[in-house]
Chains A and B, each alone.
Chain A
Amino acid sequence: MSATASQKVPRAVGDRIFSGAALAAGLFIMLALAGVFFFLALEGWPGLSAPELIYRPATDFWSYVGPLVFGTTLAAVLALVIALPFAIGIALFISHYAPRRLATPIGYVIDLLAAVPSVVYGLWGGKALSQAILPVQGWFYDHLGFLPFFKGPPSATGRTMLTAGVVLAIMILPIITAISREVFAQTPRLHQEAALALGATRWEMVRMTVFPYGRSGVVSAVMLGLGRALGETMAVAMVLSASPVVTLNLISTTNPATIASNIASSYKEATPDKQAVLIATGLVLFAFTFAVNFLARWVAGRGERRLNR
């Protein structure tokens, strides 16, 4: 500590600059996030009370955004319902069922699903899946037509909510799988071996040790997948032929758009007024996904605390 002042000064200056830069980068992130909210609010504000003509066929902002929020939720929930059983099955497959040597390459394969750009999913969904799903839609209509979801009449193009939901499900599958399998793999070895030693079959072992341990992790993974599905734009915009309706019917020709796909598809002909309205809907989407993600972090954090005790 008794170094001479001349030795200490250059060190201190270098340190101060470097730590200042690091702090600035950290603060910049806070600033950027505040900026997202601020600029969206600033530019979107006029969109809340634009001339009535802009909102056609609705009359004001809230009746304009209502069906969109409904469509967003419907698509995301549908995707989640389809993806969740598969995601948990695959996560278990990788962490507990697959031969040890195969587990890592299989993990890579599932990660590849996450690497495919969303516009390519949209292209595939619009051109290939929408055709292939027609017989499935027909089957649902014939056999489950009494449910509100399959009331039909089935669309001949296949560009329906069901197709969009399947594409979204494929897109969120790797996210949910990746997090779940990590949580499953962290189950304490001793718990598992104790269960097996008591004579449990592998499935009973999974149910008694892996699921209780990983529950909060899976819940937060589901939330993150939901957040992704809520905000996904291109895949939905390219698959869905949308109209401003509120309907649970998944296979008919009239489908509600999602907020994000509505922005992407009505962007081309946007006047400044319309642009403000679209930015305002973007703000609604931001708040929506923020809430979902916040909830996910909270659940995950609570789970961590419980396990640390």
Chain B
Amino acid sequence: MTVLDVPKGTIPLTHGRLPQWAPLLVGAVAIAFGGLLGVVAGGGLVAMSVVAVIVYVVALPLWSAAVENRRAAVDRFVTGLIWSAFAVACVPLVWLITMVIQNGASTINQQFLTFDMRNVIGDAQGGLYHALMGTLLITGAAALMSVPIGIFAAIYLVEYGKKNRLARVITFLVDVMTGIPSIVAGLFALALFVLIFGPAVRCGFGGSVALSLLMVPTVVRSAEEMLMLVPDDLREASYALGVPKWRTITKVVLPTALGGIVTGVVLAISRVIGETAPLLVVAGFTDSVNFDLFHGRMMTLPVFIFTQYASATPKGEAYAWGGALVLIAIVMLLNLIARVIGKIFAPKTGR
């Protein structure tokens, strides 16, 4: 019982700890301080927030170092940094989306969506109909090419390859393909078509080839992951009933993984629909509507945004923002569809 011999209070069994509401209090003080400084010394919202963050990140650890100990202070310091890193990362997203909506909404009207830019001079009303159609056609053709290839390749990797040497090589190459810069894909399509049709060729189908080169790896990766999630019990049950392998794949494995595969495909489409560089190089740009994938230049939405931006006129700038709003709306819609499909089909995959 030597412990009892020590006079009470000399060796505390607990050390000091900041109350639970300490971060909130310091946060409020920091915001108030930033606001006060903004009012007194002037300065925008940005300067005020920077001051508030700095006050918070400095004050809380100091208080903690006084009451708690150095280690706890470091912990609080890092926690503050990590929260502010997240807050800072949200700034560009919010900023960008509000700018696109603000500037785009005033441009978009019925004519903007249904007119093309042919013979549009000066302040005459033009539109992005030609670009919208081009984007839908080129992306659609790219999806038609890359989805079967991607899904069959994934089937090979999961069902037939089973980690043999070829499957490993293909997996590696798919990884490499994921890293191909989009402009290189465009140059590849260009080089291919130039070789076949001569140096001045520009056509929408070339854009589709470039986009599908970018799309195939994403489709393969997502389909492969989904197929691997299908439990082996299902396959074995099917084999036990005497069903041949290909019927097992088409009737058991694919339907089970369908939701995930469709989600992956939609996400892959949303990824390539905003690609600009390859289309700029291969499909070129034009002011008129072109429905023929194989002949002539074809406008697409991203290239429309780029050319309007590059025209450096107030009208061009407004059209660029309008096009950006339409493009972002399409991409977000595709993302939403993918998530909804994923949600609807999720229980069936047994996850």
Tell whether A22 is near chain B: CB-to-CB under 8 Å.
Answer: yes
Contact A234-B306, Cβ < 8 Å, known A36-B184, A43-B195: yes
CB atoms of B175 and A293 under 8 A apart: yes
Tell whether B18 is near chain A: CB-to-CB under 8 Å.
Answer: no
Which B159-210 residues have C-beta < 8 A from chain A? Answer: 159-161, 166-167, 169-170, 172-185, 187-188, 190-192, 194-195, 199
CB distance from B276 to the nearest CB of A (A): 4
CB atoms of A201 and B75 under 8 A apart: yes
CB distance from B180 to the nearest CB of A (A): 7
C-alpha spacing A219/B209, complex, angstroms: 32
CB atoms of A26 and B75 under 8 A apart: no
Least CB separation from A234: chain B residue: B276
Looking at the complex, which one of B86, B270, B276 makes contact with A115 (CB distance below 8 Å)?
Answer: B270
Contact A203-B247, Cβ < 8 Å, known A23-B156, A119-B276, A267-B281: no
- Which residues of chain A are within 8 angstroms of B188 by Cβ–Cβ distance? 35-36, 39-40
Contact A117-B157, Cβ < 8 Å, known A29-B173, A109-B90, A267-B280: no
CB atoms of A203 and B181 under 8 A apart: no
C-alpha spacing A201/B70, complex, angstroms: 11
C-alpha spacing A288/B182, complex, angstroms: 14
Tell whether B213 is near chain A: CB-to-CB under 8 Å.
Answer: yes
Tell whether A256 is near chain B: CB-to-CB under 8 Å.
Answer: no
Can you list, as one digit per residue, whether each of A255-296 has a CB less than 8 Å from chain B (1) or not (0)?
000001001100100001001001100100110011011101
C-alpha spacing A116/B274, complex, angstroms: 8
C-alpha spacing A110/B177, complex, angstroms: 24
Can you list, as one digit per residue, whether each of A77-119 has a CB less than 8 Å from chain B (1) or not (0)?
0000000011001101100011000000010011011011111
CB distance from B342 to the nearest CB of A (A): 12
- Which residues of chain B are within 8 angstroms of A201 by Cβ–Cβ distance? 71-72, 74-75
Tell whether A14 is near chain B: CB-to-CB under 8 Å.
Answer: yes
User: Chain A interface (Cβ within 8 Å of chain B)?
Assistant: 11-12, 14-15, 17-19, 21-26, 28-30, 32-33, 35-36, 39-40, 42-44, 85-86, 89-90, 92-93, 97-98, 106, 109-110, 112-113, 115-124, 126-129, 170, 173, 201-204, 206, 224, 227-228, 230-234, 238, 260, 263-264, 267, 272, 275, 278-279, 282, 285-286, 289-290, 292-294, 296-297
CB atoms of B176 and A33 under 8 A apart: yes
Least CB separation from A232: chain B residue: B181
C-alpha spacing A263/B281, complex, angstroms: 9
C-alpha spacing A97/B82, complex, angstroms: 8
Contact A294-B183, Cβ < 8 Å, known A18-B245, A44-B191, A89-B81: no
CB atoms of B161 and A26 under 8 A apart: yes
CB distance from A289 to the nearest CB of B (A): 6
CB atoms of B277 and A279 under 8 A apart: no
Contact A42-B277, Cβ < 8 Å, known A122-B309, A128-B95: no
C-alpha spacing A120/B277, complex, angstroms: 13
Q: Can you spell out 13 A-B residue pairs with CB atoms less than 8 angstroms apart? A: A19-B156, A26-B152, A29-B153, A32-B177, A32-B216, A42-B195, A97-B82, A106-B86, A227-B181, A263-B277, A272-B199, A278-B187, A293-B179
- Which stretch (B29-37, B106-114, B229-237, B324-332) binds chain A? B324-332
Contact A29-B149, Cβ < 8 Å, known A117-B275, A120-B324, A286-B180: yes
CB atoms of A123 and B309 under 8 A apart: yes
Task: Count residues of chain B with CB under 8 A from any CB of chain A.
Answer: 90
CB distance from A75 to the nearest CB of B (A): 13
Tell whether B252 is near chain A: CB-to-CB under 8 Å.
Answer: no
CB distance from A206 to the nearest CB of B (A): 8
Contact A40-B191, Cβ < 8 Å, known A11-B244, A29-B149: yes
CB atoms of B176 and A293 under 8 A apart: yes
Least CB separation from B302: chain A residue: A119
- Which residues of chain B are within 8 angstroms of A23 by Cβ–Cβ distance? 156, 160
Least CB separation from B75: chain A residue: A201
CB distance from B136 to the nearest CB of A (A): 15
C-alpha spacing A272/B306, complex, angstroms: 23
Contact A231-B182, Cβ < 8 Å, known A32-B216, A92-B82, A202-B75: yes
Looking at the complex, which one of A18, A203, A234 makes contact with B277 (CB distance below 8 Å)?
Answer: A234
Tell whether B65 is near chain A: CB-to-CB under 8 Å.
Answer: no
